[in-house]
Structure 1
Amino acid sequence: MPTHDTPTTATPFSEKGPSLQAGPPRSRIFVSNEFGLILLIVIFTIVFSLSSKGFLSPFNLFTLGRNTAVNIMIGLSMMTVIVTGGLSLAVGAVGVCAAMFCGYAIEVLHLPWPGALVCGIAMGAALGFVNGIAVVRTGLHSFIITLATMSIFFGVMVFLTRGEAFRGLPPEFTGFGKMKLLNYVSPLLILTIAVALALAWLYRSTVLGREMLASGARPEAAELSGIHVGRITVFCHSLSGALAAVAALMLVARNGAAIPSMAGQLGQDWLLPAFLGPVLGGAILNGGKAPVLGTCLGATLVTLLTGGLLLMQIGGFWVQTFLGLLLLVAVFMDKVRRSYLAYRNLA
């Protein structure tokens, strides 16, 4: 089994391919996270379509697509930090701050909306950069750093904006969130798929992506092989901030306004979707794995369950309870799955 002790072996994503050939290909497919998630998505789609007549209506499918697009982007934002073995509790706060800055740039600075979008994404990346620098310089776990910055970022944003929303956004911008393609598909979903494909290419086909995976899998070995793990950590947090900003701007386009409470108090409403997508998708909390497809499927399942349960008029509190239990079950089942793979010599 190759190690990461030299530059040529610090590529966990590409090097894991040969090791998976130990078991039968069909067995590896049937025990994969992706297969299980696809199966669950199909099952729950059938259940909800039979229990609720409006579940497969064009309007509901369009709504599910928009919500799925945002939840996938939130999950990808968290995944880029989990890759390094870290966590970011500030995903929601960063996204809201970026969206509010975009609204400020449009209404107060009178920037054209494309330029304001760039400014919003840059703000998200800058706040992520602050998180990354704080993690590297202090040596504290990112859980502690982002727990603190979550409150700091959100508090400063509310102070500067006085908690007021920015509603004077151009119709060209807000219309994008309401646009329908083929009467079912939201352009937001297409944008999310494009971002996911770009991330998959980054992790699979670039040196930077392989360095990100190596830094998360074995940071000490990565340092010995010449990878600057600190810089990679900062970059991953910056990328996470940029993706959180994109998710928030998608919400702005959908809602037609930049609202301080769009991600809940301190951005906490994003935490459960942010963790569920990557964890259901097979992300390793210790780092070293970037399941882009799994994260997309996990976020899709979460959105499907939330929309279906609400359509069945189950209270929002019970939906949140169910999703929390789902997170615990997902972690437990992943542990069981990995034990099975190790026992059968499939991984």
Structure 2
Amino acid sequence: MNNENQVAAKGAGAPPWVRAATKSPLLPIFGILVALIVIASVGSPHFLTEYNIQALVRDLAFAVLIATAMSMLLLLGELDLSVGANASLSGVLAGTLMVQHGVPAFLAFVIGALLGGVFGAINGILVAGLRLNSLVVTIGMTGVYSGIALVLTKGKAITGIPEEILFLGKGTFFGIPIPFIVAAVVLLLALAVLRWTPIGRYVYAIGNSAEASRLIGIRVDRIRVLLFASVGTVAGLAGMLYVARLGSSQTSIGGEWAINGIAAAVIGGIALTGGTGSPLGGAIGAAIISVISNLIVLFGVNVYWQSAVSGIVVVLAISLGSFSAMRRARRERMIKTRDAAAEPLKVGV
């Protein structure tokens, strides 16, 4: 028995989950994350300290929340650049309710997350109802949401957030930051919806071909609005968790969330054209970006380079995604050409 057969025989005897993991397209991405962690551990004595790990995981929570939401939209073939402005406005409105109008803190927290869903639904209605491009719409709505937040606050932070909700942003549960637990729950819900519900199948179908989905009876516009509303809700939730972390509502919340969310999703293997990938890949991509940002701080690089690095990562990720798509298209054309060339031979036989 040659080496290849021996490897195949060993693989055949492995548990199903092991065989699935080794064949997963996420394995190389996960390998990159592990390599970065090893480099960080060796390169900086501070990386594995409890303080740094806590800070990294807490930051990662918000990156995973936005990456999960953005991944769902990208699977649909859409995107939302207003998630950061949405989170900021939701936090400002909820903070105003708590501080200036005496609304109970937990109720205002929930209202803030739901307001994010309303803003997301507005985006979805504009995109689906008017057949507008989601990139253009959400760029415009970013200005609307940011402008309203600035008008309400006059550019000043809303302080005096009630103490009883601060644990949601600052607290831990058995040593795990609560925002990270929330992010993990949201990620698991997204994976469950995509895997085991009709909505998940519709999302992939629409991402592959919206017109074909309409022909088979899928209500494409309704799914689009639902996804935009869900993404808005996650953005609102992330904004409220950040308010609880800071102890104040600020218009600067979520400034780079959209660009990092797109970068994380593309790094995680989600096609910009839709229909391919998984939010789990987006979460791994978010972890890669978070570790890189943490390394920049630990290695004493100017903090302003973080924006440049994020931009570079986005461009590289999009370029690699485009390159992979071109390779797949070329391979499919070659297969079609080969089959077409072989067809006369089959007829002659």
Using structure 2 for the length normalisation, give the TM-score. Answer: 0.84
Which residue, 186, 211, 225 being the options, matches 1:234?
Answer: 225
Give distance in 2, aligned partners of 1:54 and 1:93.
Answer: 33
Q: CA deviation at 1:335?
A: 4.3
1:254 and 2:241 aligned? no
**1:103–1:169: 8 Å Cα contact kept in structure 2?**
yes
Give distance in 1, aligned partners of 2:128 and 2:76.
Answer: 12
Q: Are residues 335 and 151 of structure 1, via their aligned partners in 2, closer, same or farther at CA, if it must alter by over 3 Å?
A: closer
Report what 2:267 is aligned to: 280
1:168 and 2:160 aligned? yes
Question: Aligned with 2:26: secondary structure?
Answer: helix
Give distance in 1, aligned partners of 2:306 and 2:146.
Answer: 26
**1:30–1:36: 8 Å Cα contact kept in structure 2?**
no
Question: Aligned with 1:94: secondary structure?
Answer: helix
Q: CA deviation at 1:217?
A: 1.6
Report what 1:297 is aligned to: 284
- 1:171 partner amino acid: E
**2:94–2:112: 8 Å Cα contact kept in structure 1?**
yes
Q: CA deviation at 1:340?
A: 6.8
> Deviations 1:218-274 (Å, cap 9, x if unpaired)?
11111111111111111111111001111111211211111111233xxxx223211
Report what 2:320 is aligned to: 333
> Deviations 1:9-35 (Å, cap 9, x if unpaired)?
xxxxxxxxxxxxxxxx99985675421
Question: Aligned with 2:252: secondary structure?
Answer: coil
**2:81–2:259: 8 Å Cα contact kept in structure 1?**
no
User: Which segments of structure 1 move beyond 6 Å, counting only runs of 4 or more?
Assistant: 25-28
RMSD between aligned residues: 2.3
- 1:126 partner amino acid: V
1:127 and 2:92 aligned? no
Q: Are residues 289 and 246 of structure 1, via their aligned partners in 2, closer, same or farther at CA, if it must alter by over 3 Å?
A: farther
Q: Are residues 162 and 318 of structure 1, via their aligned partners in 2, closer, same or farther at CA, if it must alter by over 3 Å?
A: closer
1:50 and 2:46 aligned? no
Q: Are residues 180 and 136 of structure 1, via their aligned partners in 2, closer, same or farther at CA, if it must alter by over 3 Å?
A: closer
Give distance in 2, aligned partners of 1:149 and 1:160.
Answer: 17
Q: Percent identity?
A: 27
Using structure 1 for the length normalisation, give the TM-score. Answer: 0.85
**1:281–1:297: 8 Å Cα contact kept in structure 2?**
yes
- 2:45 partner amino acid: K
Give distance in 1, aligned partners of 2:329 and 2:132.
Answer: 33
Question: Aligned with 1:146: secondary structure?
Answer: helix
Report what 2:337 is aligned to: none
Gaps of 5+ in 1: 1-24
Q: Are residues 91 and 28 of structure 1, via their aligned partners in 2, closer, same or farther at CA, if it must alter by over 3 Å?
A: same
1:200 and 2:191 aligned? yes
Give distance in 1, aligned partners of 2:27 and 2:315.
Answer: 20
Q: CA deviation at 1:193?
A: 0.5
Report what 1:67 is aligned to: 59
- 2:252 partner amino acid: S
- Structure label with greater radius of gyration: 2
Report what 1:214 is aligned to: 205
- 1:332 partner amino acid: S
Higher relative contact order (CA 8 A, sep 6+): 1
Q: CA deviation at 1:213?
A: 2.1
- Relative to structure 2, which stretch is displaced further, 322-331 or 246-255? 322-331
Give distance in 1, aligned partners of 2:306 and 2:23.
Answer: 27
